Structure 1
Amino acid sequence: MTFHAGLRTLALQSCLVASAGLGFTTLAYSETTLTVALAANPQMQTAAKLIGNFEQKYPDIKVRFQTLPENQLRPAVLKDVATKSGQYDVVMIGAYEVPLWAQKGWIVDLDSYAKADTAWNQGDLLKPIRNLVSYKDHLYATPFYGSSSFMFYRKDLFAKAGLTMPANPTWDQIAQFAAKLDNKSASVSGICLRGVPGWGQNLASLTTVINTYGGRWFDEKWQPALSSPESKAAITFYVNLLREHGQPDAAKDGWQECLQLFSQGHAAMWYDDTVFAGPVLDQAAPGLRENIGFAMAPVKATKASGWLWAWGLSIPSTSRNRDAAWKLIAWLTSPEYIKLAGQKAGWGQVPPGSRTSTYQIPEYKKAVQAFGDLTLASINAADPLHPTVKPVPYTGVQYVDIPEFEQIGDFSSQQIAGAISGQMSVDQAIAASEKKTKDIMEDAGYLK
């Protein structure tokens, strides 16, 4: 499931050459430079490498990327659009931000562009992902990729231990497997999970566990519910699983570290974003690639528990180069780009989960035969409108789609990391998180 200083928009540059004594001018040179903020995820780094193909197609448009880790990109982009600084022409934002920013008028309604651009083919977008980047049925971002979450596991280690990974495992089974596969002497942890603070880091994984345990962030009246029996059980389970059978210093690790650890053979299992299936196979240590398997996200009281996410490309309302910006974001999220990424960077680097047509490309189908269908199944099984067992007043699977959640989530994630590292107990982490959450919700007017 992760947003800068120095980004600026360069205005349209033109050079008018006057013909001496003739009293007229001619346009000699015209160029638009777009400044783009991207998250430092593997598929997005591929996009930066391939941008020369776009500039060849549109020689009057130049692109300047600034690629940053998610935890840096998010606050910087938020600051720019909220203060209307106008430093960007294109920003990469997540499903969490799209409806909130659209409601505030911070990003451009793209419906007219999308409908006019028949080659872009809006109807080809996967419906769950299209919904994530829309507000009131209007498109406000073009989806770069869509994803859910599932289990990665080592088939060879399972076979050696006489274990079988079910197609739909439970978290209880995963904990049992982790205990049997944990081999500290061989530098292999039973499981790798996100532990580093961040509402899009450890809380993304943990919230899906809370959901499937039947827990909630809030009850129907917006009262904080992390201390409910179901939520507390889920948090305790997650923290204990990491402390007992997770990777060393887990509170410092996010998806980047888990991707490296698992692909290099230092973890028997890994629960994370489906988007990393291609990169983990591409980066696998010698002899490991053929031993990597995949399974649906673990459950407990729900039928499914994978998250639902999309990274999208939006145009800030302050951009002066909207037409050029549309050309860029349409190209980066087009069937044309997806085929180019596969041909130039490898089919494992193709942005997944955004278009139906992607899964009809023969080369891609062959490359993702181990996880392609599972990715689509995970995306379609996620339900952001009904994320847990009991009713909730919010939407979102691995987050709560209210403006206050960024502050709530970041604070709470720090407490969870403290419990993972042993600096505090789970009870202390929950108590501190609930107190902070209640204060924020009271200040925002949710509670009376």
Structure 2
Amino acid sequence: MNTTFRALMGACAFAALATAATSETITVATVNNGDMIRMQGLMEDFYAKHPDIQVEWVTLEENVLRQRVTQDVATKGGQFDVMTIGTYEVPIWGERGWLVSLDDLPAEYDVDDILPAIRGGLTVDGHLYAAPFYGESSMVMYRTDLMEAAGLEMPDAPTWDFIKQAAAAMTDKDNEVYGICLRGKAGWGENMAFLSAMANSYGAKWFDMDWKPQFDSEAWAATLNDYLDLMTNYGPPGASGNGFNENLALFQTGKCGMWIDATVAASFVTNPNDSQVADKVGFALAPDNGLGKRGNWLWAWNLGIPAGTKNEAAAKTFVEWATSKDYTALVASKEGWANVPPGTRTSLYENPEYQKVPFAQMTLESINAADPQNPTVDEVPYVGVQFVAIPEFQGIGTAVGQQFSAALAGQVTAEQALKNAQMLTEREMMKAGYIK
């Protein structure tokens, strides 16, 4: 009996060693947003299905993630096997051959189920170069109780004038309630994501048809001055350091009357486990100025595989799992339908259970309202709503964002920030050969 037991134990130990010896480890770089953190807590499902693959996570703040993955993919550094990247990077990197094509995903993955607006931004010459983990636009999230107390009613499609009126009415600084919270942290995907989308609704644009920067326009002056007025008079202190996560925390703790930001935030502000105001939140489309464009963006956080990874097959297996219909169902079973990654699949918005989620329809309408091919009131030579889809934009957008963040902090005037933005953008566009 003892001999048999020892033999069995030996066989088990040998099998465990063999599995360890043959398993692959992939490194996944991701952003420290709530949906990605949630995924890390659901990895038992992945390991049960794929015991031969281990995952190491590198979880970073948004601006840092962008710097790290851009440097790694451009230099073929090989630090990461899967990268969390945005709608901005995918077409540029795909065209340069920096990403592995995902055209060979299995039929059951159902690529055709991906929302056309999202899939289009991840496709180059008919080839899919990343799989969307979640998609988003932006919208107004607001405190229904404070709106009612102010004697106002939020329209489904508000104007910026109404937003200004409501921000003033809901501000109660003595009780640390601020009428509006907006991004102030510098970065092309932080404050400039919001301000570029806002500028579109004001008739502003980054460049004219000859690629000449337009920060010296009246429309940009109106955009920045209104933003600064809102944030200076009705925003929280220290707003120049606030990005998505900081404003999310402020809203969840009852300190914001309104927050205009990513639609993906809706599940976190209405989750009673996370939000103190979960039962007092309403939603509306991003504001406009009557010019035919709303101040909403279009974005997806996607999983892409850098070309040259030594673990391509394992990386594809992980990407398929994390962005599949089965993963959506897994989150729904553990966390409820309101907390599944939104904005990627047609089938999700056709699901009767998901249609009961209070923000589902507004999210879909916001995504469909964004038009990356025609983002501005006037014709422009670029695509992209809250970014300009050229390689140089990453550096230019962040530099401009620093100027506008400095204006919010009171370090420079709005006029000086716009003048600096015009000068630095002209210099970089001349250096890159767009203008002479």
Per the normalisation by structure 2, the TM-score is: 0.93
Using the alignment, how far apart are the partners of 2:389 and 2:264 within structure 1?
22
Using the alignment, how far apart are the partners of 1:318 and 1:240 within structure 2?
49
| Corresponding residue SS for 1:307 | coil
Using the alignment, how far apart are the partners of 1:78 and 1:286 within structure 2?
34
Using the alignment, how far apart are the partners of 2:174 and 2:309 within structure 1?
55
In structure 2, what is the equivalent of residue 290 of structure 1? 279
1:219 pairs with one of 191, 201, 208? 208
Per the normalisation by structure 1, the TM-score is: 0.91
1:157 pairs with one of 146, 163, 166? 146
In structure 1, what is the equivalent of residue 179 of structure 2? 190
In structure 1, what is the equivalent of residue 63 of structure 2? 71
Q: 1:28 to 1:154 in 2, by over 3 A?
A: closer
| Corresponding residue SS for 1:150 | strand
1:45 partnered with 2:37: yes
In structure 2, what is the equivalent of residue 319 of structure 1? 309
The answer (yes or no) to whether the contact 1:214–1:390 under 8 Å persists in 2 is yes
Which 10-residue stretch deviates more, 280-289 or 354-363? 280-289
The answer (yes or no) to whether the contact 2:200–2:294 under 8 Å persists in 1 is no
| Corresponding residue SS for 2:179 | coil
Q: CA deviation at 1:264?
A: 1.1
Using the alignment, how far apart are the partners of 1:67 and 1:295 within structure 2?
31
In structure 1, what is the equivalent of residue 130 of structure 2? 141
Using the alignment, how far apart are the partners of 2:282 and 2:51 within structure 1?
44
Using the alignment, how far apart are the partners of 1:376 and 1:432 within structure 2?
37
In structure 2, what is the equivalent of residue 339 of structure 1? 329
1:351 pairs with one of 326, 341, 348? 341
Using the alignment, how far apart are the partners of 1:29 and 1:223 within structure 2?
58
1:387 partnered with 2:346: no
In structure 2, what is the equivalent of residue 181 of structure 1? 170
Q: CA deviation at 1:157?
A: 0.9
The residue type paired with residue 357 of structure 1 is S
Instruction: Kindly provide the CA deviation profile for residues 172-205 of structure 1, in whole angstroms up to 9, marking residues without a partner as x.
Output: 1101111111111111001000011111111111
Calculate percent identity across the aligned residue pairs: 46
In structure 2, what is the equivalent of residue 278 of structure 1? 267
The answer (yes or no) to whether the contact 2:134–2:300 under 8 Å persists in 1 is yes
1:90 pairs with one of 78, 82, 103? 82
In structure 1, what is the equivalent of residue 190 of structure 2? 201
Instruction: Kindly provide the CA deviation profile for residues 133-175 of structure 1, in whole angstroms up to 9, marking residues without a partner as x.
Output: 1112210000001110000011111111110101100111101
The residue type paired with residue 335 of structure 1 is K
Instruction: Kindly provide the CA deviation profile for residues 229-256 of structure 1, in whole angstroms up to 9, marking residues without a partner as x.
Output: 1111111111111111111111111111
Q: 1:285 to 1:86 in 2, by over 3 A?
A: closer
1:33 partnered with 2:25: yes
1:132 partnered with 2:132: no
Using the alignment, how far apart are the partners of 1:266 and 1:184 within structure 2?
9
Instruction: Kindly provide the CA deviation profile for residues 259-293 of structure 1, in whole angstroms up to 9, marking residues without a partner as x.
Output: 11111111110000000000111157776222100
Using the alignment, how far apart are the partners of 1:227 and 1:342 within structure 2?
49
Task: Please list, as runs of the form range in 1=range in 2, the aligned pairs for 1:411-426 lying within 5 A after superposition.
Answer: 411-426=399-414
Using the alignment, how far apart are the partners of 1:273 and 1:253 within structure 2?
14
1:436 partnered with 2:424: yes
1:237 partnered with 2:226: yes
The residue type paired with residue 105 of structure 1 is G
Q: 1:240 to 1:27 in 2, by over 3 A?
A: closer
In structure 1, what is the equivalent of residue 8 of structure 2? none
The residue type paired with residue 372 of structure 1 is A
Which 10-residue stretch deviates more, 189-198 or 298-307? 298-307
The answer (yes or no) to whether the contact 2:373–2:384 under 8 Å persists in 1 is yes
Instruction: Kindly provide the CA deviation profile for residues 108-157 of structure 1, in whole angstroms up to 9, marking residues without a partner as x.
Output: 1111x12xx01111111111011111112210000001110000011111
The answer (yes or no) to whether the contact 1:144–1:354 under 8 Å persists in 2 is yes
Q: CA deviation at 1:363?
A: 3.9
In structure 1, what is the equivalent of residue 52 of structure 2? 60
Using the alignment, how far apart are the partners of 2:78 and 2:283 within structure 1?
43
The answer (yes or no) to whether the contact 1:168–1:298 under 8 Å persists in 2 is yes
Using the alignment, how far apart are the partners of 2:275 and 2:118 within structure 1?
35
In structure 2, what is the equivalent of residue 168 of structure 1? 157
Task: Please list, as runs of the form range in 1=range in 2, the aligned pairs for 1:112-131 lying within 5 A after superposition.
Answer: 113-114=104-105, 117-131=106-120
Q: Which runs of 5+ in 1 are unaligned?
A: 1-16, 18-25
Q: 1:71 to 1:283 in 2, by over 3 A?
A: farther
| Corresponding residue SS for 2:279 | helix
1:427 partnered with 2:430: no
Task: Please list, as runs of the form range in 1=range in 2, the aligned pairs for 1:391-406 lying within 5 A after superposition.
Answer: 391-406=379-394
| Corresponding residue SS for 2:180 | coil
Using the alignment, how far apart are the partners of 1:214 and 1:286 within structure 2?
36
Q: 1:286 to 1:320 in 2, by over 3 A?
A: closer
Q: CA deviation at 1:346?
A: 3.6
| Corresponding residue SS for 1:316 | coil
Q: Which runs of 5+ in 2 are unaligned?
A: 1-13
Using the alignment, how far apart are the partners of 1:232 and 1:30 within structure 2?
60
